[in-house]
Amino acid sequence: VIAAGESAGALGGFLSGSGSTIACLALAEGAELQAIGSAMQNAYQVIGRSRLIFSEADNGGARTVELGG
Confidence of residue 62 (pLDDT cuts 50, 70, 90): confident
pLDDT in tens, 5-61: 999 999 999 999 876 899 999 998 999 999 999 999 999 999 889 999 999 888 888
Nearest Cα to Cα of residue 10 among 49, 37, 44: 37
pTM, two decimals, is 0.79
Question: Would you state the pLDDT for residue 69?
Answer: 63
Nearest Cα to Cα of residue 5 among 17, 20, 22, 29: 22
CA atoms within 13 A on the CB side of 58: 4
Question: Would you state the pLDDT for residue 10?
Answer: 97
Question: Would you state the pLDDT for residue 17?
Answer: 84
Q: How open is the CA angle 20-1-33, to the nearest 5 degrees? A: 100
CA dihedral 7, 13, 17, 21 (to 10 degrees): -50
